[in-house]
Amino acid sequence: MSLDPALIEDPYELQKLLGFEIAEWSEGYARWEMPVTAKIGNRYGIPHGGVYATLLDTAMGFAGCFTGSREDRRLAMTLSLTVNFLAQPTGKTLIAEAHMTGGGRKTFFAEAVISDETGARLATGTGVFRYRSG
């Protein structure tokens, strides 16, 4: 899969602050990547749990909002988010891959995994999202 450059949106402020970027996006799927840097670390120097939650939430939300058109954007808000922390990264990049798992006209469900480039599974998440109107 590849990402159509026309679909890349300007980064929002939190995205700029943390440094994560969309890498792939298609119907029911999204992949986001973030370099492991000191600025995302907690007191122990490992990525803060909130970083994992943010990356999982973003990837899952995008997985359910693909339209294939920059002009016809679909947005969603998170209703429920569950995060499971599994391991510490040994690599230099966090990779969140999310899939939409179901839903209907107003809500959708998604799941995601964060790994690093070594293939180590670092965190998993599930979420429920509501499409935003207007």
What integer is the mean pLDDT of 76-87? Answer: 98
For tokens 């000191």, what's the residue?
A: 38
Q: How confident is the model at residue 1 (pLDDT cuts 50, 70, 90)?
A: low
Give the integer Cα–Cα distance in Å for 29 and 13: 23
What integer is the mean pLDDT of 68-88? Answer: 95
Residue-by-residue DSSP string for 11-36? PPHHHHHHT-EEEEEETTEEEEEEE-
Question: What value does the mean pLDDT of the chain take?
Answer: 95
All structural domains of the chain, each given as residue ranges with its CATH number in brackets, are 5-131 (3.10.129.10)
pLDDT at 134: 61
Structure tokens at 95: 């990779």
What are residue 126's DSSP bridge partners? Answer: 82, 111
